[in-house]
Amino acid sequence: MKARKLETCLSPALYDAEYHKGSIVVVIDIFRATSAICTAFEHGVKSIIPVAGVEEAREYKERGYLVAAERDGFVLDFADFGNSPFNFSRETVEGKTIVYSTTNGTGIIKKASSAYAIIIASFLNISAVTEWLLNQNRDVVLFCSGWKNRFNLEDTVCAGAHAERLMNSGLYSADCDSTQAALDLWSLAKNDLPRYMEKVAQRSRLREKGLDDCISFCLGYDYTRKIPIIKDGILVDNI
Amino acid sequence: MKARKLETCLSPALYDAEYHKGSIVVVIDIFRATSAICTAFEHGVKSIIPVAGVEEAREYKERGYLVAAERDGFVLDFADFGNSPFNFSRETVEGKTIVYSTTNGTGIIKKASSAYAIIIASFLNISAVTEWLLNQNRDVVLFCSGWKNRFNLEDTVCAGAHAERLMNSGLYSADCDSTQAALDLWSLAKNDLPRYMEKVAQRSRLREKGLDDCISFCLGYDYTRKIPIIKDGILVDNI
């Protein structure tokens, strides 16, 4: 059996849509978008409509949707709440369709639209994601969302955690240096993840804005078995 | 005194010319371009004209220049030699102007043209580069050349080695995650650099083509005190 390819994309600016056509793209943006989305599905959200622009989000709000929208970490005035996982409580989201606007995430989903599938990952659903991927006979791209098209450490470390589990299966080959770097950084981080994350730039940015209360939650393993997946442009539960 | 900024750019695709205007750009492409260029200057080359295209290199050849030109590791038929540091012996290059065409390097020099200065670095001139940078009151960007616009591990590790020395001076602040990643990967590699480099993808690619004979040479510290620098588009000795 031919080994499946495992690649890691360290920033949206490095994603090559043509090269990764047919792969499963695993989007990682742990502080805080993909952690929040995983939490929302654990709490029973029906679906999440990702939107790119502020105006688009506002129009949905006017049509009665619940809207999560922020820019650079600040909740937009017309929105119901921002992007912290703590906003997506069962009381708030169960059974509902939510519109979600983020600085980073929506552009990535568009960029990866020629992939076989796009799923949402974080530490919160790492075991479920690994098990699901092992059951798909597909190449995998771990897609780190980065920050403003740049590299970031937290998503790379989380990609390394996913890569380690996938590589341990023996089903994948990882010839790309990015995966090797992610595995190595994860090896430095894993014994004390909260301490390692202290040096991450995004953590300081969140702290300055008082938005870092969810960091330790975002670093917890297996809060949920849910795997959000894009279907027709909308995030739904991957059953 | 305001701390100078130290940033690391992990791939040409991540370089932001506007953001880095006024910085000193330190180009790193250790397997093999920047190691070869450092070697050429140690051996007394007068200057090196970097050219982007094969046709441009061929025209220089027809005008009587010595031409180093390869694509994907193979020497072009009209060229005098390829890009191995071993080609740039004193007998061959002393006092001469050489035309140099590479897959990667020339595009990078164009990309960084709005910087305050562009210098060429490798392990071979690491101490000289560090000392020179410490004497310049400027922000620094460690520019990893990568491979076909993608991330690579060997240049990142070398950037980490440079970053460690610069950070030890206390003159720089490094708020970017890329520098942190480079420092961490360097910390894993430094105790046995040749062994760490075994897992680098470019090393396998060079080995397959029989071009890996210079790898251990490229990993040696301080073969030269020369710091090649771009002046008017041409590489000269930075005296």
Write the pLDDT tens digit of every residue in A24-71. Answer: 999 999 998 999 999 999 999 999 999 988 899 999 999 999 999 987
Distance CA B56, CA A109 (A): 41
CB contact under 8 A, B181 and A13: no
Give which of A145, A147, A177 to mutate to test B binding, by max B Cβ within 10 Å: A177
At B212 the pLDDT is: 82
Look at B157 and B207; give whichever has higher pLDDT. Answer: B157
Q: Is the pLDDT of residue B128 over 70?
A: yes
Q: Which of A157, A184, A190, A208 to mutate to test the interface with B (most CBs of B within 10 A)?
A: A184
Of A150, A178, A201, the CB nearest to B151: A178
Q: What is the mean pLDDT of residues A118-144?
A: 97
Residue A121 pLDDT more than 90?
yes
A216: confidence class by pLDDT, cuts 50, 70, 90: very high
Nearest chain B residue (CA) to A178: B151
Q: What pLDDT, on a 0 to 100 scale, did the predictor assign at position A103?
A: 65
- Domains contained in chain A, CATH given: 4-237 (3.90.1560.10)
What are the tens digits of pLDDT across the range A167-208?
999 999 998 999 999 999 999 999 999 999 988 877 788 888
Does B185 have pLDDT greater than 80?
A: yes
Q: Which two three-digit tokens encode residue B4?
A: 């100078």
Residues B41-96: tens digit of each pLDDT = 999 999 999 998 889 999 999 999 999 998 777 889 999 998 899 999 999 999 99
Give the chain A residue nearest B197 (alpha carbons).
A177
CB contact under 8 A, A200 and B178: no
Residues of chain A contacting B177 with CB distance shorter than 8 Å: 147, 150-154, 156, 200-202
The two beta strands, B117-121 and B172-173, are unpaired
Look at residue B163 in the predicted model and tell me its pLDDT. 98
Cβ distance of B13 and A10 shorter than 8 Å: no
Instruction: Identify which has the larger pLDDT, A4 or A175.
Output: A4
Indicate the helix (H) or strand (E) that contains A64: none
Q: What is the mean pLDDT of residues B2-12?
A: 94
Nearest 5°: the CA angle B141, B146, B152 is 105
- How close does chain A come to B220, measured CA to CA in Å? 22
CB B31 within 8 A of CB B154: yes
CA distance A158 to B182: 17
**pLDDT the model gives residue A26:** 98
Pick the closest to residue B61 from B46, B72, B49 (CA basis): B49
Residue B116 Cα, gap to closest chain A Cα (Å): 22
pLDDT at B104: 73
DSSP for chain B, please give it.
Answer: -PPEEEEEESSGGG--TTTTTTSEEEEE-TTTHHHHHHHHHHTT--EEEEE--HHHHHHHHHTT-EEEEEETTEE-TTSSB-S-GGG--HHHHTT-EEEEE-SSHHHHHHHTTTSSEEEEE-GGGHHHHHHHHHTS-S-EEEEE--BTTB--HHHHHHHHHHHHHHHHTT-EE---HHHHHHHHHHHHHGGGHHHHHTT-HHHHHHHHTT-GGGHHHHT-S-S----EEEETTEEEE--
Predicted TM-score (pTM) of this structure: 0.94
CA distances from A1 to A116, A137, A139, A170, A171 (A): 20, 10, 13, 11, 9
Residue A70 confidence (pLDDT): 83
Of all residues in chain B, the one with the smallest CA distance to A148 is B14
Percent of chain B with pLDDT over 90: 74
Q: Count CA atoms closer than 13 A to B169's CA, side-chain side.
A: 21
Q: Which of B177, B187, B202, B206 to mutate to test the interface with A (most CBs of A within 10 A)?
A: B177
Taking all residues of chain A, what is their mean pLDDT, rounded to a whole number? 93
The CA distance from A89 to A73, in Å, is 19
pLDDT digits 0-9 by tens, B139-150: 999 999 988 889
- CB distance A177–B10 less than 8 Å? no
Q: How many CB pairs under 8 A join A and B?
A: 76
The enclosing H or E element of A101 equals strand A97-101
Question: Considering only CB atoms, which residues of chain A are within 8 Å of chain B?
Answer: 10-11, 13-14, 147, 149-154, 156, 175-178, 180-181, 184-185, 187-188, 199-202, 204
> Which of A14, A149, A199 is facing B180, going by the closest CB pair?
A199
Q: What is the reported pLDDT for A105?
A: 76
Q: Inspect the interface and report whether the beta carbons of A175 and B201 lie closer than 8 Å.
A: yes
What pLDDT is stored for residue A200 in this prediction? 87
B31–chain A nearest CA distance, Å: 14
Contacts A150 to B, Cβ<8 Å: 14, 176-178
By Cβ distance, the residue of B13, B150, B181 closest to A185 is B181
Q: Indicate yes or no: CB of B153 within 8 angstroms of CB of A180.
A: yes
Task: Read off the pLDDT band of B211 (50, 70, 90).
Answer: confident
Hey, are the CB atoms on A153 and B181 less than 8 Å from each other? Answer: yes
Q: How confident is the model at residue B103 (pLDDT cuts 50, 70, 90)?
A: low
* Of the partner residues A150, A181, A201, the one whose CB lies closest to the CB of residue B14: A150
pLDDT of residue A175: 85
For the record, the structure tokens of A166 come out as 């996938």
Looking at beta carbons, which residues of chain B come within 8 Å of A175? 201, 204
CB contacts, 8 Å: B188 with chain A:
184, 187-188
Over residues A137-166, mean pLDDT: 95
Mean pLDDT (chain B, rounded): 93
Chain B residues with CB-CB distance to A178 below 8 A? 150-151
pLDDT at A239 over 80: no
Residues whose CB is less than 8 angstroms from the CB of residue B60 and which lie 6 or more positions away in sequence, other chains included: B49, B51, B67, B99
